Structure 1
Amino acid sequence: MSSHLSHNLILETALSVDGITDYIKELLEEDANLTQVWVYGEVSSASPHSKGLFFTLQDSNGTTSIRCVVWGNLVKELVQMPKKGEQVLVLGSLTLYRQRGEYQLRVFQALPAGEGLQALRYQQLRNRLQAEGLFDRQRKRSLPPHPQTIAVVTSPQAAAWGDIQKTLQQRYPGVQVLLSPAIVQGEQAPDSIVAAIARVEKDSRAQVIILGRGGGSVEDLACFNDERVVRAIAFSSIPIVTGIGHERDESLADLAADFAAHTPTAAAEKVVPRLDDLIIEHQERVLHLRKVINRQVEREESRVLLLKNRLRRLRIDRFVEEKGRSLSWLQQRLIQVTNQQFEAANQRCELLQHKLASLDPKSVLQRGYAVVRNQAGGIVKSDQDLQIGEELLIQLGKGKVKVEVREVLEDLEPQRRRGRRGSQRSK
């Protein structure tokens, strides 16, 4: 009896498969920590399906795995398509597959993990900076052909610094080399490189900058893919040549530089010409100049010879003779006209001399007239201007006489004229 009751009690409290499945599903899908979770692992299998994509992630040791599903159009939104053997980082939520009682990860996004993630970040940064135009050819500036001062941004302990110095001195002796020291590896490297470039710009002596570092691992060269370094290179007021790593290496700094060399030594070779090459170029220019001058002299000599032949054909003697006769006639005509003008001018001068002589006061005085002046030097024109006892100066034809007025005589000429007019009226 008691056994029968216990069995009934157990049946009343037991859960069905459907019930416990619903319970577990509710626990998984309503847990806030599991509705949006990042999971990384290696893709052990992948099966495309008409409804989406099914794949399995497993741990690196291969002992644990989880089924994943990407539904519908979300497959096209994945940054990294899961492929067998690749490391991926997925974002999704945990759900329960009721038919088999298995939990699975419903995936919204998949990214490359490990080296793949670094490559993705590199590509995203490269695309963004390229969209801004920082790598455009139009931004690249030509390097000075004969720089007098070159700045080098690198570590003073690096082998690259010694290689650059040696190459510059061998190729272009006398060039001034300035070191702007920088850390070129590690977390502090980006800020250190940016500061070193800024020091060179503030100093303003250098005409070109070499940013150099020897080879190394991807991690060692990571600072040259830093956005801060790339922008400092792109916006530098001085042209920058990079010589980073080995020939197989390419960084974002290389893309932003005005010129990217494969090695520090190659960068040094790019910024200065080789002295021997300059000497050869100079000699070639001298030879070219001599050839040009010789050709010009030959052309001018040919031109002079041509002109000589033309002069001979013009019978220059006859031409000179005709011009001589013409000049002789013009000379005679000029003398004749000049004589006529001179004679006419002479006659006019004589006439003017006669007129001047007749108007000259001295000539009047020579005929017996005199000029009477008062003490003030004024000419006396009427007896009414005179006073008894006044001294006068009389200027004669020859000499002067000073006199004193004793008496002013009455002028009888006006009375005579009045008498004649009266007698005429009486008649």
Structure 2
Amino acid sequence: MALETSPESPTPVRTVLQLVGGWVAKLGRIWVEGQITELNRRAGTVYFTLRDPVANVSVRVVCPRAVCDAGGPAVIDGARVVVHAKPDFYINRGSFALSAFEIRPVGVGELLARLERLKQLLASEGVFNVERKRPLPFLPGTIGLICGRDSAAERDVLDNARRRWPAVRFKVENTAVQGTYAAGEVIDALARLDADRDVEVIIIARGGGSLEDLLAFSDEALVRAVAAARTPVVSAIGHEQDTPLLDYVADVRASTPTDAAKKTVPDVREQLTLVRQLRDRGRRCLSGRVEREVQWLTGIRSRPALADPVREVERQAEAIGTLRDRARRCLSSALDRASDDLSHTRGRLVALSPAATLERGYAVVQRPDESVVASAVEVKKDDELLVRFHDGRITVRADTI
């Protein structure tokens, strides 16, 4: 029930704290999972902070020393544990803490099972999909490197990268790579490098270690931060057999920090060799093409039409002369035949012509209208007639019939 208060009738602090303590006490005993930090043993009491492995929240835990010792030597700073405790609210100090009755270290098997569940959850959300992975640039201008301070991983990446390409530039962010604050520091460093426009690739590198040592690189918040980064990320955590969840979400997974340098930076010697080989190949291709074209041109020039073009003109002129002479012969023959035919026709015409008959002494009698008088009975007395000879004609009149 909410308290009914007013400026005139306020509630004392003790009442408020008593009510809060009563509400907290109703939770009863619960099991809580977290990571131990700030472990402090004082006489018969042990104090430590139980930090959430994902969110940046924590709670104070108080327990008898016997409870802590019963958990075994694994109860140390950075250890993952489950605690059976009762929430307590201390009214005198207004503070909240958990009173622990049992502490159980989280074993490797349980850690692996939880990591597997988290892996399945992230995979179902598409965080590990191959389609979202980005290719690395051929020659990045600046490479961001997240690693431990003065670590072997840092030396391996820098030395191998500069040996392969001496002009490569790095921007190094040193962070904790194991323990309570490792995931948070790596996330912050990733955000800084991702915001830098000069950084084209980010390498997250760490040497080998146990499952607990590499646990920070399976942190859900870190995995989601890498998935959201705009810059391609290379994961180089541990050795070949180590596979934290960061390896699945990174754009490129390297088996070791040395392998990360090889995958990120090209080898200048290999590139020079490749350029030389490509140049030689291009020269051979160009030379071969020129040689083929020269051979083709030589073959074209060797053809008769191009080797002796005047000869072709002469041959065509001879053909034209031959055709002209043939046409003349054909035309002359045709004219001769036509002339002969015409002579024969003229002879037949002359032979059949009335003028030829007249030349032999015959005459043709015609009327004035030039119609021929074929019989004497057709002529009447005093008719005017024309008598045609071969060399002219006369006019006569019929006197007697």
TM-score (norm 1): 0.48
Q: Which residue of 1 aligns with 2:282?
A: 289
Distance 1:113 1:155, change over 3 A: closer
Pairing of 1:410-421 with structure 2 (within 5 A): none
Per the TM alignment, residue 160 of structure 1 is displaced from its structure 2 partner at its CA by 1.1
Select which of 253, 257, 267 maps to 2:250: 257
Per the TM alignment, residue 198 of structure 1 is displaced from its structure 2 partner at its CA by 1.0
Per the TM alignment, residue 249 of structure 1 is displaced from its structure 2 partner at its CA by 0.5
Contact in 1 for aligned 2:137/2:200 (Cα 8 Å):
yes
Select which of 109, 120, 127 maps to 1:116: 109
Q: Write the deviation string for residues 61-108 of structure 1: whole angstroms up to 9, x where unpaired.
A: xxxxxxxxxxxxxxxxxxxxxxxxxxxx9xxxxxxxxxxxxxxxxxxx
Contact in 1 for aligned 2:300/2:306 (Cα 8 Å):
no
* SS at structure 2 position matched to 1:141: coil
Pairing of 1:70-219 with structure 2 (within 5 A): 114-219=107-212
Counterpart check, 1:239 vs 2:232: yes
Per the TM alignment, residue 181 of structure 1 is displaced from its structure 2 partner at its CA by 2.5
Q: Which residue of 2 aligns with 1:420?
A: none
Separation in 2, partners of 1:37, 1:194? 31
TM-score (norm 2): 0.51
Per the TM alignment, residue 320 of structure 1 is displaced from its structure 2 partner at its CA by 6.6
Letter of the 2:207 counterpart: G
What percent identity do the matched residue pairs reach? 36
Per the TM alignment, residue 175 of structure 1 is displaced from its structure 2 partner at its CA by 0.7
Separation in 1, partners of 2:135, 2:201? 10
* SS at structure 2 position matched to 1:146: coil
Contact in 1 for aligned 2:119/2:245 (Cα 8 Å):
yes
Separation in 1, partners of 2:189, 2:306? 79
Per the TM alignment, residue 184 of structure 1 is displaced from its structure 2 partner at its CA by 1.3
* SS at structure 2 position matched to 1:152: strand
Q: Which residue of 2 aligns with 1:266?
A: 259
Separation in 2, partners of 1:257, 1:182? 19
Distance 1:252 1:318, change over 3 A: same
Counterpart check, 1:277 vs 2:270: yes
Separation in 2, partners of 1:315, 1:113? 99
Q: Which residue of 1 aligns with 2:41?
A: none
Q: Write the deviation string for residues 261-281 of structure 1: whole angstroms up to 9, x where unpaired.
A: 111111111101112111211
Distance 1:176 1:37, change over 3 A: closer
Pairing of 1:370-381 with structure 2 (within 5 A): none
Contact in 1 for aligned 2:305/2:312 (Cα 8 Å):
no
Distance 1:283 1:196, change over 3 A: same
Unaligned runs of 5+ in 1: 1-31, 39-88, 90-111, 324-427
Q: Aligned-pair RMSD on alpha carbons? A: 2.9
Separation in 2, partners of 1:149, 1:250? 27
* SS at structure 1 position matched to 2:199: coil
Distance 1:295 1:173, change over 3 A: same
Letter of the 1:126 counterpart: K
Letter of the 1:283 counterpart: R
Letter of the 1:189 counterpart: A
* SS at structure 1 position matched to 2:302: helix
Distance 1:181 1:33, change over 3 A: closer
Separation in 1, partners of 2:155, 2:195? 24
* SS at structure 2 position matched to 1:276: helix
* SS at structure 2 position matched to 1:277: helix
Letter of the 1:306 counterpart: G
Separation in 1, partners of 2:27, 2:147? 48
Separation in 1, partners of 2:281, 2:307? 39
Contact in 1 for aligned 2:201/2:233 (Cα 8 Å):
yes
* SS at structure 2 position matched to 1:177: strand
Q: Write the deviation string for residues 111-168 of structure 1: whole angstroms up to 9, x where unpaired.
A: x963222122101100010011111111222111122211101122322111111111
Aligned length: 220
* SS at structure 2 position matched to 1:207: strand
Distance 1:305 1:198, change over 3 A: same
Q: Which residue of 2 aligns with 1:346?
A: none
Q: Which residue of 1 aligns with 2:222?
A: 229
Letter of the 1:174 counterpart: A
**Higher relative contact order (CA closer than 8 Å, sequence separation 6+):** 2
Q: Which residue of 1 aligns with 2:347?
A: none
* SS at structure 1 position matched to 2:303: helix
Q: Quick check: 247-256 or 180-189, which moved more?
A: 180-189
Letter of the 2:219 counterpart: D
Separation in 2, partners of 1:176, 1:185? 26
* SS at structure 2 position matched to 1:231: helix
Distance 1:169 1:113, change over 3 A: closer
Letter of the 1:118 counterpart: L
Q: Which has the higher helix share?
A: 1
